[in-house]
Amino acid sequence: MSCWFFLPPEEIHSKENIVLKADNLMHLKALRLAKGDLIVLADGKGRAFYARLDFLASDRAEASILYELEKNVEPPLEVTLALGVSKGEKMDLVIRHSVELGVKKIVPVLTGRTVVRVTAEKVKGKNRRWQNIALSAASQCRRSFIPEVLAPLSFTEALEIMARNDLVIVPWEEEKEQGLRHLAEITKRPQEVCIFTGPEGGISFEEMEKLKELPEVYPVTLGPRILRAETAPLAVLAIVMYLWGDLAGVNRP
């Protein structure tokens, strides 16, 4: 299987010969690739191309585009994950694995129960780190699209993004009846879904009341057990991708 690399669209489109940058050079050397080997160059916006390494030196590498990949590895469903900011490496884990599952956009949200204190300087560093994790995960699972990770938003700002979706799914421990199976039965197939999960302390009643003011918001139960802040979003995302995405193996009608 050919190795996967991301380049900016302007460096791939309308060019037959591609010069690979320093970060890709390190990867090429680590993989012990050589002149003549085939690689895949993706633009991070949904297109990917087979290419051949024509030149490889310590400070420069060049490749020539052969043809565009026809296979679409992106899911038919666009999912935005609005994620209550959690402590430690939990955010890293959720971002990495949600990209593998096919998320389109990740929105870190500062809620009333967020315990992490994020300064302006920390925001820049965290956002850069999270976007790099998304890039690495997209490359590892051979996606042609790099999901965008926004800088942390306030709960009010995040509501505006949630409202743009066909469906907003909110796992909530106070919801005792409606689950994802029932939701799939009563709603038509969506094209854009937002999943909102809280931080370690969960979602407050006040925040849920604000959420319920949005159209097509559905609180759901995830069963009798309380899931961790890093487990709940991945569980819901996997189920949503099975119901309306491509985790079932084929595009469901």
Query: Could you tell me the residue range of the domain that residue 38 belongs to?
Result: 3-68
Q: Are residues 143 and 123 in the same domain?
A: yes
Asked if residue 95 and residue 61 are part of one domain, the reply reads: no
The structure tokens listed for 134 are 């998304």
Do 175 and 194 lie in a common domain? yes
> Does residue 252 lie within any of the structural domains?
no
- The residues facing 245 across adjacent strands are none
- pLDDT at 50 > cutoff 70: yes
Query: Do 126 and 49 share a structural domain?
Result: no
DSSP of the chain, one letter per residue? --EEEE--GGGTTT-SEEEE-HHHHHHHHHTT--TT-EEEEE-BBS-EEEEEEEEE-SS-EEEEEEEE-----S-SSEEEEEEE--STTHHHHHHHHHHHHT-SEEEEEE-TT------HHHHHHHHHHHHHHHHHHHHHTT-SB--EEPPPEEHHHHHHHHTTSSEEEEE-TT--S--HHHHHHHSPPPSEEEEEE--TT---HHHHHHHTTSTTEEEE---SSPPPTTTHHHHHHHHHHHHHSSTTSS---
Asked, for residue 154, whether it belongs to a domain, the answer is yes
Q: What is the largest CA-CA distance in the chain?
A: 62
Q: What is the pLDDT of residues 196-212, one digit of tens each?
A: 999 999 999 999 999 99
Please name which of 44, 49, 54, 53 lies closest in space to residue 67, comparing C-alpha atoms: 49
Same domain, residue pair 57 and 82: no
Which whole number is the average pLDDT over 152-174?
Answer: 97
Contacts of 147 (CB under 8 A, 6+ apart): 98, 99, 103, 104, 105, 106, 134, 138
CATH code, domain carrying 217: 3.40.1280.10
CATH for 29: 2.40.240.20
User: pTM to 2 decimals?
Assistant: 0.89
130 in any annotated domain: yes
Strands 17-20 and 61-68: antiparallel
- The reply to whether 251 falls in a domain is no
Q: Do residues 82 and 96 touch, judged by C-beta distance below 8 A? A: no
Q: How many CA atoms lie within 13 A of 245 on its CB side?
A: 21
Same-domain pairing of 109 and 181: yes
Give how many domains the chain has, as a whole number: 2
Residue 73 domain-assigned? no
Per-residue model confidence as pLDDT tens digits over 216-227: 999 999 999 999
Find the mean pLDDT for residues 117-142. Answer: 88
Give the domain-ending residue among 30, 47, 68.
68
Q: Tell me, what's the pLDDT at 250?
A: 64
Do 102 and 19 lie in one domain? The reply is: no
Residues 171 and 108 in one domain: yes
Does some domain include residue 145?
yes
Domain membership of residue 144 (yes or no) is yes
Question: What six digits make up the tokens of 65?
Answer: 């585009």
pLDDT of residue 120 exceeding 80: no
Q: Which residue carries 């700002």 as its tokens?
A: 157
**Which residues lie closer than 8 Å to 43 by C-beta, 6 or more apart?**
6, 7, 8, 9, 12, 13, 144
pLDDT digits (tens, 9 = 90+) for 35-46: 899 999 999 999
Q: Strand 48-56 to strand 38-42: parallel, antiparallel, or no bridges (unpaired)? A: antiparallel
- On whether both 135 and 30 belong to a single domain, the answer is no
